[in-house]
Structure 1
Amino acid sequence: MAPLETNNTPLNTPISGTVSTADLEATIAHLKRTIADLEATAPSGPNKRLTSTVTLGRGYRRVCSMFQDISTLVQEADRCEEDDSEDEGDTAPSPEAMRNRDHTFTAYQELVCVISGFKTNLLNTDSGVLASYYNEARSDEICAIKKNVAEWLNQSSATTPRLEPNNCSTCRLKHNTTGCLLCPIELEWDNPEIHTKIQNGNEGYDISQSMYPRLLYKAGNGDPNDMEKGLFRSALHVKVLLAIFTSLSSAKKVPTFELENVNGASENSAPRPLKATKSNVTQKLNLKEVTPCTIAYATVILHFLLTDATHWNPTYNGFSYELFYNFIVDYFEDAEGPQAKEHVKSLLAWWN
């Protein structure tokens, strides 16, 4: 399984570009100026409790945006406000630019949802410390869950040889189980000839170009002719999300193959992943339900843990984790037509 990040990639290195201290200070200043507008969205009452700066800062990547910095989110919110009050004329943005803006603004809205503790703690935090907080959570996720993912996969008699939690060199395409889960649903991993071509990276068999790896599917199986059948209903996927947002103990309570319709389990039944407890992440971040961003975050972590990577990289072996993350968020948020919207609504209800 993929090990903890090394010093090859500093934890506070931005994904795209360099965010200066001045930019972060400007962001914090802006948030302070707009706090009155956000006040109305904050929960109130005698049970309201401030959460630590560390928890909220680290939670930002999990709940709001895995790849964008807070400064980018605030700048986009400002731009949207300006666009609402000004006529853009003939300079309408391209569809791709609009999608990028939508991603950013959606993440900003998620940030507002946790503002009750965020405003008091993070806005008064040194900008450098803030940056380190919201970039270090990923490494903790990898460290905490990697061993458990190997153990969960080893519960299957089909996992041969057994996965070694602390040895990532035997993962990815080198191991039949991890290779199968990383293999696109369009390719038949169990076909020896195709299997070999995938491992050799032959033309037309590059797994880095597909956004539909088998790890997203119930029992790792799907229909290439109906790629949405069983999509986002993987028990392993549910367990990883539980481990991140509640606890490892709650994740372990879900049998690895129960949700795969083994022994008659219902396709429409799932655990309640984000049931709040006194100390879990969901309560601290004011997170009441599974969201597209939380599903996407858990998916990226799971995919990375199945590789043979020795340290985190937003692009590994040609596979872009940022594109993967955005694809998943778009799947839920940009559904077109009544049927697609109803399907997404039903899928989110299954998760919740």
Structure 2
Amino acid sequence: MSTSEIIPPVLDISLSVQTSPHARAKRKIAALMDEIEILKQDKAIKQRKTIYYVSQGRAICRIVALYTPIEDLIAENDRRCEDCGPSSSSTTVQDRLQHGYIELAKALPWLHDKLACLDHEESEDMLKKLKRGADSARGDDTGTLKELVASWVNIKCHPTALIRTDDKHHHGFVSDACGRLLCPAEWSWEDPVVRAGIRDRTIDFIVSENSWPSFMYENYQADANNLEYGLMKSRLLIMGFKAIFTSPSSANEVDGEGNGADIIENNRCARKRSDQARIRFALSSINSWRTVDGDFDYQIFWTSIVDFFEDAPGPAARTRANDLLEWWTRQVIDH
């Protein structure tokens, strides 16, 4: 047998086997259509994730933390996981952050596991979308209350010059109606010395976050001998809460005390972390949401409210805080 019969001829792969141009074009178009469909599916998935995360994030500023970044809550929980020995300790600030993380895990029960399985870039993207939803909800809430609170004050207080719902320049201590509600509970707005001192920001009448404003009290008046009596039982607070958590129209249904109900955990969290800071913002003369208004620090004010419920100093104070939450349940759930 000859060699030529044993070894097959070498094919020249540089030569193409001619096919129909029309057929080639059809195959290219089909391949491109497949790629486009895949891209559409990827885009749709990303859009669904974005919509989901943004919508879920709307709960954060309402029932988790009004100011604290989500990353700080996560970092504190991570710190505790890594430093969980018998000698480990924590500060008040760290305890507050961990309280916030626990509330975050309750509000978004899927988040804890999600953080464990996503890589860093995916986690960052998810948190960014959650924060977008949180910021959006806070903006919506403050915008809603800015108009509603002005109309409620007009109806309740009948000021000579009505409070405008679209302009806050004449809110705050410039207005007698708003000033009376913003005045620290231990002072009397009816006293001309107090009123002038507050408006002129004299050293003896600095309005800071260290005092409870009158609008937080039942009938907007405090007992000078017991500043906890009637605290956070204000009709204005209840109306603000219902406007945010149920609907603006439901705020008009607020009346007397209900017949009683079991504490609902999510509503407890919401009431502990809800609308006092937003109500004060609506009564103030500042136009945009910020942390400090003159001598008043909203973040410290909000923290004091949360600590009132979550860090009560002793069993008696905890009992009073729980009784107050039960009262809120009757007000909010039964009406």
Q: TM-score, normalised by structure 2?
A: 0.74
Mapped contact 1:216–1:234 kept (Cα < 8 A): yes
SS of 1:168's partner is: coil
Instruction: Tell me the equivalent position of 2:288.
Output: 311
* Structure 2 spans left out of the alignment, 5+ residues: 1-50, 330-335
1:120 deviation in Å?
Answer: 8.9
Aligned to 1:225, the other structure's residue is in SS state coil
Instruction: Tell me the equivalent position of 1:113.
Output: 106
- 8 A Cα contact 1:184 1:214, kept in partner: yes
State the partner residue of 1:251.
Answer: 251
SS across alignment from 1:52: helix
Is the 1:183–1:213 Cα contact (8 Å) retained in structure 2?
Answer: yes
Unaligned 5+ segments in structure 1 are 1-50, 259-264, 277-286
Per-residue deviation, 1:86? 5.8
CA deviations 1:227-246 (Å, max 9, x no partner) are 00100000100111111111
C-alpha deviation, 1:110, in angstroms:
0.8
Name the structure 2 match of 1:30. none
User: Which residue of the other structure, out of 86, 93, 97, is the alignment partner of 1:104?
Assistant: 97
SS of the residue corresponding to residue 297 of structure 1 reads: coil
**CA separation of 1:251/1:295 partners in 2, compared to 1, >3 Å: closer, same or farther?**
farther
- The Cα of 1:163 is off from its aligned counterpart by 0.9
* Whole-angstrom CA distance in 2 between matches of 1:317 and 1:53: 35
Assess, with a 3 A threshold, how the Cα gap between structure 1 residues 209 and 106 changes in structure 2: closer, same or farther: closer
Contact 2:185–2:222, Cα closer than 8 Å, also in 1: yes
Q: Which residue of 1 aligns with 2:236?
A: 236
Q: What's the CA shift for 1:296?
A: 3.6
Partners of 2:238 and 2:73 lie apart in 1 by 28
| Contact 1:273/1:290 (8 A) holds in 2 | no
Q: In 2, are the aligned partners of 1:168 and 1:308 still within 8 Å (CA)? A: yes
Q: Deviations over 1:75-116 (max 9, x none)?
A: 10111223323634xxx65xxxx2211111011001111234
Deviation at residue 343 of structure 1 after TM alignment:
0.9
Q: Is residue 2:276 matched to residue 1:299? A: yes
For the structure 1 residues 302 and 105, does the alpha-carbon distance in structure 2 shift closer, same or farther, using more than 3 Å as the test? same
Paired amino acid for 1:253: E
**Counterpart pick for 2:267 among 281, 289, 298:** 289
Q: Whole-Å Cα distance in 2 between the matches of residues 351 and 160 of structure 1? A: 33
Correspondences of 1:85-96 after superposition (within 5 Å): 85=85, 87-88=87-88
Change (3 A) 1:130 1:303: same
Query: CA offset at residue 136 of structure 1?
Result: 2.4
- 1:41 maps to none
Distance 1:206 1:296, change over 3 A: farther
Deviation at 1:224, TM superposition (A): 2.1
Q: Name which of structure 1's ranges 200-209 and 304-313 shifts more when overlaid on structure 2.
A: 200-209
In structure 2, distance between residues paired with 1:238 and 1:147:
16
Within 5 Å, give how 1:331-350 maps onto structure 2: 331-350=308-327
Name the CA distance, whole Å, in 1 between partners of 2:260 and 2:266: 11
Pick aligned residue for 1:323 from 300, 304, 307: 300
Q: Deviation of residue 142 (structure 1)?
A: 1.3
Separation in 1, partners of 2:303, 2:174: 28
Matches within 5 A, 1:186-265: 186-254=186-254, 258=255, 265=256
Q: 1:130 to 1:296 in 2, by over 3 A?
A: closer
Cα separation, 2, equivalents of 1:85 and 1:170: 56
Task: Supply the AA of the counterpart residue of 2:69.
Answer: D
Higher relative contact order (CA 8 A, sep 6+): 1
Alignment check: 8 A CA contact 1:53 1:121 kept: no
Return the alpha-carbon distance in structure 2 between the equivalents of residues 53 and 127 of structure 1: 8
Tell me if structure 1 keeps the 8 A contact 2:237–2:276.
yes
- Alpha carbons of structure 1 residues 213 and 300: separation in structure 2 relative to 1, 3 Å: same
Residues 141, 162 of structure 1: alpha-carbon distance in 2 compared, 3 angstrom cutoff: same
Superposed CA offset, 1:277-320 (max 9, x none): xxxxxxxxxx63232x5444300110111111021111111211
RMSD, aligned α-carbons = 2.7
Q: 1:231 to 1:64 in 2, by over 3 A?
A: same
**For residue 54 of structure 1, what is the amino acid of its counterpart?**
V
1:84 and 1:109 map into 2 onto residues whose CA distance is 16
Structure 1 pair 341–201 and aligned structure 2 pair: CA distance change class (3 A): same
The one-letter code of the counterpart of 2:283 is: L
Residue 247 to residue 188, structure 1, CA distance change in 2 (3 Å): same
Partner of 2:25: none
Q: Does the 8 Å contact 2:185/2:211 carry over to 1?
A: no
TM-score with structure 1 setting the length: 0.71
Once the two structures are TM-superposed, the CA of residue 274 in structure 1 deviates from its matched residue by: 12
